[in-house]
Structure 1
Amino acid sequence: MRTEPKLTRLDRVFARLDREPERPAHIDVPKMSRHRIVLFAATLAFYGAIVWAVIITSWLVRLDWQVMFFRPYQQWSEIHWFVDYYVVLGQRGPTAVMVAAWLGWRSWRQHTLRPLLALGVSLLLLNITVGAAKYGMGRLGPHYATVIGSNEMWRGGDIFPSGHTANGVVTWGILAYLASTPRARRWLSAVSAVTSLGVGMATVYLGTHWLSDVLLGWVAGLLILLALPWFEPLIARSETRIFDLRDRWRARRSGTAAATAPVSAPPVVVTPLPPDRDDVAARSPRAPVYLAPGPHTARSERTPITPAGSRRPPHTERHPRGSASSSARP
């Protein structure tokens, strides 16, 4: 009795992936619509409002100090070990490697560089905008605060806005931005929002960031995701240029390989010579110069000629048979 092999869950997953089309045509590139522009402008205004509230030392700064004096890491010390591991989801190095590995597999699967290029553009924007804001405002963190109740601005710090929070929003949000279906986009948006929210709260719990730092980090990451459609033409041009360079390199490599291939010499035709010729002339592939020009026949093709007369050399001592001298024998 013949039985079929039982497929495991991993086998079914790979079988499903093998049926996926290459370079899916239904993936639409987001465009900067009017709704998206309005949302970007509102988020940018909220960004400026948070910065202004911290500069004027408003109620938001007082809330920062209250949370700092509450010391959540002492109130709930039993979850400290978990928060130490969870906050890694907002660190730029580990998260960039994980997301780049997944998007690299998608790029290879769909034969397009757009996922990796979109990730690179988003991380570049994150480093430029968040880094400039950090060093431009120079706010000190809770562990290095000098005056109680102050905003600690322009004192050489680099925590405003929160880099962990902004990186969590951008790194995990790019998966939702690049989703191929609306359902996947909704699910990934929810997952990325919860993950980045947890990362921001983890930094407040550990006391490394003010609450206002986390709020500004969320807004800064959201601004980058909303501005990505403006860079889609640049991503498309970069992808085309990279593929053109790859094709040129392949063509140049194949041309170089063809040019360096050894050229086979033409075969040398040796004309057979009669055996009675000189040995030096017989070993030479070219015909001797003393031969008359024209076609020469081989010995096997020549007509045999019978020589006339006896082929024996003459001897003076011998006499023909029947002569008188032949009877006188000793």
Structure 2
Amino acid sequence: MRRRSWAWYVLAVAVMAGVTADVLVDGPLRRLDMTVHTFCDAHVQGGWMSVVHVFTQLGQRGVIAGFVLVPLAILGAIRARSLRPVLVPIVVVLLLSLLQEGLKSVIPRTYPAGGADVLWKHGDAYPSGHTLNGFLLIWVGIELLIVVLPVLDRWLTVRGRRDFALVTGILTGAALTAADEHWLTDVLFSLALGPVLLAGLVAAEPFTRPLWPGEPVRGRYPRI
């Protein structure tokens, strides 16, 4: 099992390195970016754009934080009589923001909305931070939901929560590409990195579990 996990990590690193190299040398994937941009710009309109836009919101940090994380964190803090359900999401969001800013600063790139794919001048399209949000912030939101409603832990296993976050991350990346808000390669990089970062949060779940206190369910939640 460990060998298989390491194989996935190596594959993810290879994909990120390969996509980045392709973008830098103007390879076939980057040329595909323009083809996908042209198709989506011409065909994803009207009702289709409205549907796609709904899924792009899964990666909008302001939307997820304002309508999901903040309310759940406040309710979780009240229920647990602790500030931990508030502090932990703040730390995760800050670290994720720093990571995104660092990655985007390496290869400045314009967004497809401008119609031109330009490197090294202006823009922070590469890689897609919104796609990473779709993986990680949704996971944090589910963890907070369990703080507020601990009974959900009977049905939402760690694996189930992970799989749900994987699906939302993939949907976010696909929607961002279809909505022409990101180049395909922006999203491909983050689709490789997102599951790795999510695996880190999942692996830390036994250690962060005391940070998500609530009513005892199967003896897992100590009261503090």
1:203 CA drift (Å)? 1.8
Q: Deviations over 1:202-229 (max 9, x none)?
A: 2212212111111222333333333347
Identity of aligned residues (%): 28
1:214 equivalent to 2:187? Answer yes
Q: Distance in 2 between matches of 1:71 and 1:138?
A: 23
Q: Distance in 2 between matches of 1:113 and 1:43?
A: 35
Contact 2:127 2:190 in 1 (8 A): yes
* TM-score, normalisation: structure 2: 0.71
Contact 1:87 1:202 in 2 (8 A): yes
The 3 A distance-change label for structure 1 pair 87 and 233 is: closer
What SS does the corresponding residue of 1:71 show, helix, strand or coil? helix
1:199 equivalent to 2:165? Answer no
* Alignment match, 1:49: 18
Paired residue total: 203
* Alignment match, 2:157: 184
Aligned with residue 38 of structure 2, among 50, 64, 69: 69
Instruction: Give the letter aligned to residue 189 of structure 2.
Output: L
1:125 CA drift (Å)? 1.9
The 3 A distance-change label for structure 1 pair 203 and 218 is: same
The 3 A distance-change label for structure 1 pair 183 and 82 is: closer
* Alignment match, 2:127: 161
The 3 A distance-change label for structure 1 pair 177 and 218 is: farther
Q: Which structure has more helix as a fraction of its residues?
A: 2
Contact 1:177 1:185 in 2 (8 A): no
Greater relative CO (CA pairs within 8 A, separation 6+): 2
Q: Deviations over 1:13-42 (max 9, x none)?
A: xxxxxxxxxxxxxxxxxxxx9679735454
Structure 1 stretches of 5 or more lacking a match? Answer: 1-32, 240-330
Instruction: Give the letter aligned to residue 159 of structure 1.
Output: A
Q: Distance in 2 between matches of 1:85 and 1:75?
A: 13
* Alignment match, 2:220: none
* Alignment match, 2:218: none
The 3 A distance-change label for structure 1 pair 122 and 221 is: farther
Superposed, which structure 2 residues align to 1:286-325 within 5 Å?
Answer: none
Contact 2:134 2:168 in 1 (8 A): yes
Instruction: Give the letter aligned to residue 218 of structure 1.
Output: L
Q: Distance in 2 between matches of 1:156 and 1:115?
A: 37
Q: Deviations over 1:217-249 (max 9, x none)?
A: 23333333333479889979x99xxxxxxxxxx
Q: Distance in 2 between matches of 1:202 and 1:145?
A: 18
Q: Distance in 1 between matches of 2:98 and 2:53?
A: 27
1:122 equivalent to 2:112? Answer no
Q: Considering only aligned residues, what root-mean-square deviation do their CA atoms show, in Å? A: 3.6
Q: Distance in 2 between matches of 1:230 and 1:75?
A: 38
Contact 2:56 2:175 in 1 (8 A): yes
Structure 2 stretches of 5 or more lacking a match? Answer: 147-152, 213-224
1:227 equivalent to 2:200? Answer yes
1:142 equivalent to 2:106? Answer no
Instruction: Give the letter aligned to residue 164 of structure 2.
Output: V
What SS does the corresponding residue of 1:69 show, helix, strand or coil? helix
Q: Deviations over 1:269-301 (max 9, x none)?
A: xxxxxxxxxxxxxxxxxxxxxxxxxxxxxxxxx
1:92 CA drift (Å)? 0.8
1:99 CA drift (Å)? 2.1
Larger Rg: 1 or 2? 1
